[in-house]
A and B are shown apart, each in its own frame.
Chain A
Amino acid sequence: MTLKDRFMRGKPLDGEMIIDCHMHVGIVNEFYSGGSCFEKVIEKMDATGVKMGFVSCLRRYDCPENGNREVIRYVEKYPGKLRGMIYFNPHYPHGYLEEFLYCRDSGCFCGIKIHPEIHQRAMTDDFYLDIFKLAGENRYPVLTHTWDMEDVAPFNELAERFPDTTFILGHSGGISRLAFIEAVRLAGIHENIFLDTALSYALYGTLQYMAETAGSGKILFGSDANWNLIEAALGRVIFADISDAEKKDILGLNAKRLFGCLDGIFAAS
């Protein structure tokens, strides 16, 4: 039975390695989301068969560190189910190294999340360059929000400049046609650039294009919960016109390979 046929029965995809690399915790301010109560998101992870989620907390402007502490609380509440992405705000750079070390040593995190659109900073900003270097030295993949060409184009050079850093282009350039095409092109030519599937506007056929152009090995499953529905994000992958082997790569096997810190958790898998 295919993944699609199993999924259409409304049962969790037990036995599959499904890792959601793009999630958030905390209250969503811009709109009403039932996922502001994160326990409901956990229930949907269980209902669909998502084994692990990587979460960041973007909206704690009062103090960026508070968001990372909130992530730690959730990771400690759901050990083996969640891992954190350390979030930095370039407008408050003081103490970022100490913050990184604190988070790293907590054992709760596996990567870094940045959001240049919210923070109105170029990808080539000095602060981000420091972060990319730090990420490479510590083997922490960097998940970055990309929504237009300005967010995507710099990675052609950054991928060369930071060969030890893995870049995940969140939203794969978004719904800008040109940015999307460029993101996919860059993932196809740079070993250290990956794409993710998180996109509320899950445009028809785009995942197939990503797999054909960049390769299914360069795509990670992301839902953007608690903003987005996990089950809708899964549907984008599971109903795509690609093989089940490619779907399994995208749903979790690629993330498992990429995030070395998961080795202990999934040792038995």
Chain B
Amino acid sequence: MIAPEGMEGTKNMLAFFDCNCYIGRTETPFPGTFSDVETLVGNMKKCSIAKALVWHMSSVLYHPVYGNEKILEVCRGRDMLMPVWVVMPNHTHEFYQPEELIGLMRENNVRAVRLCPSAERLNHRMETWSCGELFGALECAGIPVFISLRETDWNTVHAICAAFPALKLVLTEIHYSQTRNMFAMLSAVKNMYIDTSHLKSPYIYEDLCSRFGAERLLFGTCMPYMEPGCAVSSLIFAEISQDDKEKIASRNIRNLLEEVIF
């Protein structure tokens, strides 16, 4: 079972499932931020976040194999946390072949991955000549793939979604300055989902739900980079139905994770 007891929340109070968190130290932390799991869990409780998908920063600042092992250790024994692995193509034989990766994920019940392909992170391309095999395997297994818009561009997102129409691509950190492109892409492809951590333009929830349905939105905070109260407040005060709020808060991501074929 993915959802813990009481996940549905009470009548007028939402219980959240955060699809976008990380832990671990960064190169240049802002004053006031945190990097440890205890503070993450404390913030989750403060914001009624019952569960979170979490990846480890050392997966990109050091190496994915190292960081992915660390996140398993962190999540072990903590029911509120689910691990996310950072993955990359394996043409250099420093990671895993796609079939082996899926097997290891099954073994460790890891149901989501993140790619960090920018030059400052793992520095690889996402075209099919680079990530085709990887995306194909993730598509077959139904594993949601998280990518930050800070790490890619709209043309690449479109190419991936078109080439792998059953791949579930979750685009994160979509700043309000990108709303026009976001609307266009949601129209153009049906297998792209968006996290809510950076949705900050007025009436954006109302507009997105009426145009594309609540099913495309996944609640995310981007902790510890962002203050989680912003994403929580935005959804609480959105003028959409309670059913849509519950979908965004937790049901959509739960459904995606339950559809993983292991």
Please report A residues at the B interface, Cβ cutoff 8 Å. Answer: 4, 7-10, 28, 30-35, 40-41, 44, 47-48, 177, 180-181, 184, 200-209, 225-236, 238-240
Contact = CB atoms under 8 A, between A and B. Distances in A.
Does more than half of chain A's interface fall in helix, strand or loop, or is it mixed?
helix
Contacts of B159: none
A200 B227 CA distance: 11
A204 B223 contact: yes
B155 interface: no
B229 A33 contact: no
A32 B236 contact: no
Nearest to A241: B46
Contacts of A238: 229, 233
Given A32-B179, A228-B202, A8 B227 contact: no
A179 to B, nearest CB: 12
A32 B33 contact: no
Contacts of B47: 239
9 contacts: A10-B12, A204-B30, A228-B200, A229-B200, A229-B201, A232-B233, A232-B234, A235-B230, A235-B232
B39 to A, nearest CB: 9
Given A238-B233, A239-B229, A34 B203 contact: yes
Interface stretch (B84-92, B141-149, B170-178, B246-254): B170-178
Contacts of A201: 175, 198, 226
Contacts of B118: none
| Shortest 8 CB-CB contacts between residues of A and residues of B | A239-B229, A205-B32, A34-B203, A235-B233, A35-B202, A235-B229, A209-B32, A231-B237
Contacts of B206: 34
B228 interface: yes
Nearest to A224: B200
B217 to A, nearest CB: 14
Contacts of A33: 176, 179, 201-202
Nearest to B182: A32
B95 interface: no
A188 to B, nearest CB: 13
Size bracket of the B interface = 35 or more
B176 A227 contact: yes
Contacts of B203: 34-35, 40
A48 to B, nearest CB: 6
Contact of B236 (A10, A30, A177, A226): A10
Interface string B157-189: 000000000000000000111111001000000
B49 to A, nearest CB: 11
B34 A205 contact: yes
Contacts of A181: 31
Interface in B1-60: 12-13, 28, 30-34, 46-48
Given A44-B237, A229-B204, A239-B227, A31 B34 contact: no
Contacts of B229: 4, 235-236, 238-240
A206 B31 contact: yes
Contacts of A232: 200, 230-231, 233-234
Given A31-B178, A34-B202, A40-B202, A231 B31 contact: no
Nearest to A28: B201
A83 to B, nearest CB: 20
B176 A47 contact: no
Nearest to A235: B233
Nearest to B47: A239
Contact of A208 (B32, B46, B230, B236): B32
B236 A31 contact: no
Contact of A203 (B180, B198, B226, B234): B226
Contacts of A228: 176, 200-202
B183 to A, nearest CB: 7
B258 interface: no
B117 to A, nearest CB: 22
A31 B174 CA distance: 12
